[in-house]
Amino acid sequence: MKGLAPIAGWTALLLGFAALIAYLFLPELTLWSLTFAAVAGLNAVFFFVVDRQEVIRSLKTRTALHGMNATVVIFVFLGILVFINILTHRHKFRWDLTETSVYTLAPQTQKIAANLPRKVKMTAFYETGHPGRSEFERLVDGYKGLTDKIEIEFVDPIRQPAVTKQYGVTTYGTVVLESGKQETKIKLATEENLTNALLQVTRDQQKKIYFLSGHKEKNIEDKERNGYSQAKQALEQDHYKVEQLLLLQTGKVPDDANVLIINGPEKALQESEIAAVEAYLNTGGAVLLLLDPRQDSGLTPFLERWGVDIGDDLVVDPLAKLYSSDFTIPIVSPVDDHPITRNMGMQQAILPLLRSVSAITTEGLETKEILFSGARSWAEKDYQSGKVRLDPGIDLQGPVPVAVVSSKEIIPADRVEPNPDAPPDAQPSGPPASVNKAHLVVVGDSDFAGNQYFSLYGNGDFFLNAASWLAKEENLISIRPRKRKWSPITLTETQGNLTFILGIIVFPGLVILTGFRVWWKRRSL
């Protein structure tokens, strides 16, 4: 029996190590790791029982005492590491040092995740060991750090074919989101796709946005540089339903319209159409009006009634020459005290061929200018002559307002106001009828949201923020998820040669010479 004790001891060590490896790196082999651990435990007990005198004598030696001291120090060090890990797990903090902060969730995503109305279950179909799984886990950890309403489950399509077939999944990396009666799938788990999917499964009502047509407006189906297909796609990703509207046929704005967008009409609207738009606003509607310079849309009297003045001018900025070949493409800056622009921070927008849009103080209206051109810009009145120069007293000197928000309270017709002179028993009973608000946003350009400029600077964010604010979707007003930026290093011929000489010849040569010198000195000793 005693001769078997060493064999049992070594067997216990080997099987214990095998159980640890299986537990850490092969979690699906749970039965094997438990079996290895059990057999290792039995062999260890056998070893200590049979050879206990030798074990006790070995523990009393000087080497054993020093070994136990070292073991205590190791366990203390490991305890400190465990304590630090517990602290970091409970108090998470991350540094994102990438240029565009691609590892930080965008403000829009943070808003949506933090305000989820109900539980969302994510089922991610990744093969065990798939390289995309760890990246997806890192992304989802950011969401779960903002809310406890997200539940994640991983399914291996090879080991769980029944579940895979149940969800109709055919591609690795597919993520299925479920919430209530809503379900959607995404095949590429990026932050943008995941956030849009969260919107789809947590919003039971899909709001509708109409684009006016019939006046040579920019087409939302056009994929060319002047089209609005990117704007339409971005709105649909935010879970809006987007359609075109021909007012001459319908005679009125549909009742299911949450927002009406009029984007760059080249022909004037007819009086009946203007009356339909104003009637829609007077019932608490929301309109986004994008008017290009040098175009008469016939909306000037209507806009004046809503506290907005559109100038017959063209905004020019000498500083535009620094980033463009045309000084009629100014960069504009948003104000930070309006919901549309508040979360844009220092992000600017670029609006080509821009006209001034100013607020008019009007009783019963709240008007605010939210976009301004640069301090050195001006609104050129005599733009048709081809001579561009600032004429004080004639031209509007910068910063020039180029976007205005106008809001109006719509009081229901059946609302009865209290009479301060009437006795208490004659006052209207019950809560007062709710007051709705009509909103109108006017921008002096429509090209900024076209396909050519939509992705530049903060153009797309400003357009989507304006639409979301008008649709009363405050959670969608922010900066959209960031994308990785390709930033290659471009070297001149001189810089390339210098890099080659220093990196390939000079520095390696110094290391070789230093080594040779040390070898020569030691050789002479």
Inter-residue contact 25 to 17 (CB < 8 Å): no
What's the pLDDT at 296? 87
Q: Is the pLDDT of residue 241 over 60?
A: yes
What fold is seen in the domain 107-199?
Glutaredoxin (3.40.30)
How many whole angstroms separate alpha carbon 389 and alpha carbon 516?
71
Label each residue of 246-306 as H, E or C: CHHHHCCCCCCEEEEEEECCCCCCCHHHHHHHHHHHCCCCEEEEECCCCCCCCCHHHHHHC
pLDDT tens-digit readout, 50-67: 777 776 776 667 776 666
What's residue 12's pLDDT?
80
Q: Is the pLDDT of residue 290 over 90?
A: yes
In this predicted structure, what is the pLDDT of residue 75? 72
Tell me the β-bridge partners of 154. Answer: 124
Question: Per the structure block, which two tokens stand in for 157?
Answer: 């399509």
pLDDT at 414 over 60: no
Strands 257-263 and 286-290: parallel
Residues near 197 by beta carbon (within 8 Å), at least 6 away in sequence: 175, 177, 184, 186
Percent of the chain with pLDDT over 90: 30
Q: At 110, is the secondary structure helix, strand, or coil?
A: helix
Single-letter residue type at 3: G
pLDDT of 97 reads 59
pLDDT value at residue 277? 95
The arithmetic mean of pLDDT across residues 176-192, rounded, is 85
Within 13 Å and on the Cβ side, how many CA atoms surround 210? 21
Residue 324: pLDDT band by 50, 70, 90 thresholds? low
Give the pLDDT mean for 360-377: 91
**pLDDT at position 222, please?**
92
C-alpha span between 359 and 342 (Å, rounded): 19
Instruction: Give the model confidence (pLDDT) of 189-209 as tens digits.
Output: 888 788 878 887 887 788 899
Average pLDDT of the chain is 82
Residue 65 has what pLDDT?
65
Q: Strands 120-125, 401-410: parallel, antiparallel or unpaired by DSSP? A: unpaired
Average pLDDT over residues 482-487: 55
32 Cβ contact list (under 8 Å, min separation 6): 22, 26
Half-sphere exposure of 470 (CA within 13 A, CB side): 28
Structure token pair of residue 485: 């930026």
Query: What radius of gyration do the chain's Cα atoms show?
Result: 35
Inform me whether the pLDDT recorded for 103 exceeds 70: no
If phi > 0 it is left, if psi is from -120 to 50 it is alpha, else beta; for residue 173 that is left
**Residue 405: closest CA among 479, 334, 280, 307:** 307
Going by C-beta distance under 8 Å and a sequence separation of 6 or more, which residues neighbour residue 399? 333, 372, 373, 374, 375, 377
107-199 shares its CATH topology with 205-413+432-476: no
Cα separation, 362 vs 307, whole angstroms = 6
Distance, in Å, from the CA atom of 359 to the CA atom of 401, rounded to the nearest integer, reads 8
Whether the Cβ atoms of residue 174 and residue 130 lie closer than 8 Å to each other = no
Burial class (CB in 10 A: 0-12, 13-18, 19+), 238: buried
List the end-to-end C-alpha distance of the chain, in Å, as a whole number: 60
CATH superfamily placement of domain 205-413+432-476: Class I glutamine amidotransferase (GATase) domain (3.40.50.880)
Look at residue 429 and tell me whether its pLDDT is greater than 70.
no
Taking the domains of the chain in order of start, what are their residue ranges? 2-90, 107-199, 205-413+432-476, 488-520
Q: Give residue 482's pLDDT.
A: 59
Residue 430 clears pLDDT 60, i.e. is over it:
no
Q: How far apart are CA 113 and CA 120, in angstroms?
A: 10
Tokens representing 154 are 């991983």
Model pLDDT, residue 265: 94
Average pLDDT over residues 91-109: 66
Q: What pLDDT is stored for residue 220 in this prediction?
A: 94
Q: What CA–CA distance (Å, rounded) separates 382 from 177?
A: 57
Rounded to 5 degrees, φ, ψ at 489 are: -95, 120
Per-residue model confidence (pLDDT) at position 306: 95
